[in-house]
Chain A
Amino acid sequence: MNPFALIIIMLTVVLGTLIVMTSSHWLMVWIGFEMNMLAIIPILMKKYNPRSMEACTKYFLTQATASMLLMLAITINLVHSGQWSTMKPLDPTASIVMTLAMAMKLGLAPFHFWVPEVAQGIQLSSGLILLTWQKLAPMSILYQISPTINSTLILTLSILSVAVGGWGGLNQTQLRKIMAYSSIAHMGWMTAAMMFSPMMALLNLVIYIILTTTTLMMFMMNSTTTTLSLSHTWNKTPLLTTAILATLLSLGGLPPLSGFLPKWMIIQELTKNDNIILPTFMVITALLNLFFYMRLTYSTSLTTFPSTNNMKLKWQLNPTKTTIYLPPLIILSTLILPLSPMLILLE
């Protein structure tokens, strides 16, 4: 893409999210969402083949419908309260419609059908932006309306999302679809936390973004999109196999890695509020997530997967891809757990 156009489009993506996060007028929030959606379409369409055009169309249709629902919620709130301020509590009907709109934008079940298909049709770098940056704006809106969210609705979305994210990812070999189902499951955990402690939902969001960025950057370094090509990592960059192992296990939520911290905090907040069945169910479905991450690590790191003789000399060649920020990200995505006493500052 022309660098000038690319700078303008990236700036608009960032500006759209920032406008959503910092506006006090609901109309500006809607404008921010529309700017964000409009500007990310060319980023999703880096390659001009029918598959990526189909992915862009699906993304555009679902996000436009969600923006429409957001506008409906804003209008309902305006009719009942007569003002546009985001600081005031929402009318209950407007809150329900807005939660549904944000659920469509995040890809929560039962509005999750677009996430694997859009993630599969685009480049890995576009998928990185889709799964990390695009979650910031809807989560900030959910955080702002969290005092008035209908608890039945948000817990239904959460339970369905963790179940779909777990079971949906089981039959996948394409890495982008696996990351999409991982995103659905993590969004389910975040919305469950949003009910009782929005701060823990933000903690989950930040750690999820770090983990997903690390994983996708490691995939980008090897340009792998399937499990089979990921299993050739020991031929190309043997050092990365250890990092992939640690990061994928962290994504699955195993202690003593970073990914365990948000799950632990969320379970703690849920049990403090006398919820026992919900965290049990969420932990059991998180095991499904862990299973397909373990399957990836099995073929990548834990075994030297067979390959042709041509593949076996790839480590001798100089790498051509630059690893932007990957070492600090790997450390962040595996070693944050000892910092958990710092969360006492939130009290």
Chain B
Amino acid sequence: MTYIVFILSTMFVVGFLGFSSKPSPIYGGVGLIISGGVGCGIVMNFDGSFLGLMVFLIYLGGMMVVFGYTTAMATELYPEVWISNKAVLGGLMVGLVMELVLVFYVLGEVYGDVVTEFSDLGDWVVYDMEDYGFVNSEAVGVSSLYSYGAWLIVVTGWSLFVGVVVIMEITRGG
């Protein structure tokens, strides 16, 4: 259970391999779903229960659903699955071998610095300097996004709005 984040990270990368070896998008969506679910697990292991469920709700339940419907509309007659095309299979195999090598390299340093970095959360939590009492630190983080990070909210909201404007402008055609 100490290495659960490590295992989930490996599954995360393997899920990414599933779509970056470029099968047809319908099959790539499977890789995205697996990676999304596993990513939720990783976030939850760092006390991020709200954000993890947000990944499932908004990312998988919102964006992925739209992506799935779009690729279902734009499907081709003979879609490529991972084993139908040698290039896709080769890419997947190369990625898997590289990931395996990386995993064995990291596990080979089990008694060294690398693993203690995984279980030490101090680097990743910026607002850990204060004492929040009995409030979950993640809730403090989410709420400080709206107080200290107001500018970030403004910029992100504007980016989303401009994203929609840009997409409608591009797909408008002549």
Tell me the A residues contacting B by CB distance below 8 Å: 1-2, 5, 8-9, 12, 15, 19, 27-28, 31, 34-35, 38-39, 41-42, 45, 48, 56, 78-79, 82-84
Main secondary structure of the interface of A (DSSP, over half): helix
B147 located at the interface, meaning its Cβ lies under 8 Å from any Cβ of chain A in the complex: no
Contact (Cβ within 8 A) A28 B162 = no
**Nearest chain A residue, comparing its CB with the CB of B161:** A8
A-B contact pairs, 21 of them (CB 8 A): A5-B165, A9-B166, A28-B151, A31-B155, A31-B156, A34-B159, A35-B155, A35-B158, A35-B159, A35-B162, A38-B159, A38-B166, A39-B162, A39-B166, A42-B166, A42-B169, A42-B170, A48-B173, A56-B170, A79-B117, A83-B126
Residues of chain B contacted by A39 (CB below 8 angstroms): 162, 166
B174 located at the interface, meaning its Cβ lies under 8 Å from any Cβ of chain A in the complex: yes
Contact (Cβ within 8 A) B165 A9 = yes
B123 located at the interface, meaning its Cβ lies under 8 Å from any Cβ of chain A in the complex: yes
Residues of chain A contacted by B170 (CB below 8 angstroms): 41-42, 45, 56
Contact (Cβ within 8 A) B159 A79 = no
Shortest CB–CB separation between residue B146 and chain A, in angstroms?
Answer: 16
**Nearest chain B residue, comparing its CB with the CB of A39:** B162
Residues of chain A contacted by B122 (CB below 8 angstroms): 82
**Nearest chain A residue, comparing its CB with the CB of B174:** A48
Contact code string B30-57 (vs A, CB < 8 Å = 1, else 0): 0000000000000000000000000000
Shortest CB–CB separation between residue B163 and chain A, in angstroms?
Answer: 6
Complex Cα–Cα for A19 and B162 (A)? 15
Contact (Cβ within 8 A) B169 A82 = no
Complex Cα–Cα for A182 and B46 (A)? 50
B152 located at the interface, meaning its Cβ lies under 8 Å from any Cβ of chain A in the complex: yes
Complex Cα–Cα for A305 and B170 (A)? 40
Residues of chain B contacted by A31 (CB below 8 angstroms): 152, 155-156, 159
Contact (Cβ within 8 A) B162 A12 = yes
Tell me the B residues contacting A by CB distance below 8 Å: 117, 122-123, 126, 151-152, 155-156, 158-159, 161-163, 165-166, 168-170, 173-174
Complex Cα–Cα for A48 and B170 (A)? 9
Query: Which 10 A/B pairs are nearest by Cβ-Cβ distance?
Result: A42-B169, A12-B162, A48-B174, A35-B159, A82-B123, A42-B166, A5-B165, A8-B165, A5-B169, A39-B162
A38 touching B163 in the complex, CB below 8 Å, given contacts A12-B158, A28-B155, A31-B155: yes
Residues of chain A contacted by B155 (CB below 8 angstroms): 19, 28, 31, 35
Residues of chain A contacted by B126 (CB below 8 angstroms): 83-84
Contact (Cβ within 8 A) A8 B162 = yes
Residues of chain A contacted by B151 (CB below 8 angstroms): 28
Contact (Cβ within 8 A) B166 A79 = no
**Nearest chain B residue, comparing its CB with the CB of A6:** B169
Extra contacts, 18 of them, besides A35-B158, A35-B162 (Cβ < 8 A), are A2-B169, A5-B169, A8-B165, A9-B162, A9-B165, A12-B162, A27-B152, A31-B152, A31-B156, A31-B159, A34-B159, A38-B162, A38-B163, A38-B166, A39-B166, A42-B170, A48-B174, A79-B123
**Nearest chain B residue, comparing its CB with the CB of A12:** B162
Complex Cα–Cα for A5 and B126 (A)? 38
